[in-house]
Amino acid sequence: MAGINVPLQPVKHQYIITEKIEGLATDAPTIRDPDRRTYFKEEVGGLVMGGYEPNPQAWTTDLPGGDVPNDWEFRLFDDDYDHFEQHMARAIERVPALAHAGVKQMINGPESFTPDGNFILGAAPECSNMFVGAGFNAFGIASGGGAGWVLAQWVVDGEAPLDLWVVDIRRFSGLHRDRDWVRDRTLEAYGKHYTIGFPHEEYLSGRPRIVSPLYERLKTHRAVFGSKLGWERPNWFAPDGVEPEDIYSMGRQNWFGPVGDEHRHVREKVGIFDQSSFAKYEMAGTDALKALAWICANDVDKPVGRLTYTQLLNTRGGIEADLTVARLGESRFYIVTGTGFRTHDLSWIGDHIEQGLDTTLKDVTEDFGTLSLMGPCARDVLSAVTDADVSNTAFPFGHAREVGIAGHTVRALRVTYVGELGWELHVPIAATGEIFDALMAAGKKHDIRPVGYRALESLRLEKGYRAWGSDITPNDTPQEAGLGWAVKLRKNTDFVGRRALEKVAAKPLAKRFAGFTVADPEIVLLGRETILRNGEAVGYLTSGGYGYTVEKNIGYGYVRNADGVSDDFLASGDYELVVAMERTPAKIHLEPMYDPAGEKIRA
Model confidence at 401, pLDDT cuts 50, 70, 90, reads very high
- Parse the chain into domains and list their residue ranges: 9-113, 368-451
Could you give the strand order of the β-sheet that contains 400-405, starting from the edge strand earlier in sequence? 400-405, 408-413, 422-428, 368-374, 271-274, 449-451
Task: Look at residue 66 in the predicted model and tell me its pLDDT.
Answer: 66
Q: Does pLDDT of 62 surpass 80?
A: no
pLDDT tens-digit readout, 272-303:
999 999 999 999 999 999 999 999 999 999 99
9-113 and 368-451 have identical folds: no
Q: What angle do CA 184, 248, 183 make, to 5 degrees?
A: 5
DSSP string, 248-302: --SSS-TTHHHHHHHHHHHHHS-EEEE-TT-EEEEEESTTHHHHHHHHBSS----
Question: Does residue 64 surpass a pLDDT of 90?
Answer: no
pLDDT in tens, 331-376: 999 999 999 999 999 999 999 999 999 999 999 999 999 999 999 9
* pLDDT of amino acid 247: 98
Paired residues of 337 in beta bridges: 279
- Model pTM score: 0.96
Contact 384, 444 (CB under 8 A): no
Q: Measured between alpha carbons, how far is 555 from 589 in angstroms, rounded to an integer?
A: 10
To the nearest 10°, report the CA torsion of 148, 151, 153, 154: 180
* pLDDT for the residue numbered 489: 95
Q: Is 425 helix (H, G, I), strand (E, B) or coil?
A: strand
Chain segment 6-39, per-residue pLDDT in tens: 999 999 999 999 999 999 999 999 999 999 999 9
Q: How far apart are CA 213 and CA 215, in angstroms?
A: 6
The architecture in CATH of the region 9-113 reads: 2-Layer Sandwich (3.30)
Binning pLDDT at 50, 70 and 90, where does residue 70 land?
confident
**Domain 368-451 indexed as CATH 3.40.50.720:** no
Q: Which residue has the higher pLDDT, 64 or 108?
A: 108
E-strand stretches of 19-102: 31-33, 38-43, 46-51, 57-58
Residue 381 pairs with which residues in a beta bridge?
none
What are the tens digits of pLDDT across the range 485-509?
A: 999 999 999 999 999 999 988 899 9
> Can you tell me the distance from the alpha carbon of 430 to that of 175, in angstroms, rounded to the nearest whole number?
21
What pLDDT score was predicted for residue 65? 62
